[in-house]
Structure 1
Amino acid sequence: MSGREGGKKKPLKQPKKQTKEMDEEDKAFKQKQKEEQKKLEELKAKAAGKGLLATGGIKKSGKK
């Protein structure tokens, strides 16, 4: 069975991506993202401490 080969074939190797140097805009953008992430985590921690705020769900009327 020289015409058929079983199993997976190995994918061709991709050339390694060159590490591009970060310019000032990229550095500023990364720093801004880190700061926003920290703010979000702080807000989540505050919200978790307070407990459930919106416990409404479906409101039922008092009428029967």
Structure 2
Amino acid sequence: MIVPVEAVSDEALEGMIEEFVTRDGTDYGFEETPLAQRVEQIKRKLTSKEIVILFSEATGEANLVLRERLQR
């Protein structure tokens, strides 16, 4: 189930975003991008709905997912 960004507390959203941008396999190229900059990039993608919050009722967990991955 996709959860609207507005339904998530600021604190929880910040935690999800930080976990997403520090996840293993997240590559930002040769130069390390500051955490704050990566967080802002993800916030913009959430606003544009390029990334969505996906809640799994089976596991009770919420994750950030690229919308294009849901359409596969």
Both structures adopt the same fold (TM-score exceeding 0.5): no
- Pick 1 or 2: higher relative contact order, CA cutoff 8 A, min separation 6: 2
User: Structure 1 length normalisation: TM-score?
Assistant: 0.27
Instruction: Work out which of the two has the higher radius of gyration on C-alpha atoms and give 1 or 2.
Output: 1
User: Structure 2 length normalisation: TM-score?
Assistant: 0.25
- Which structure features the higher share of strand residues? 2
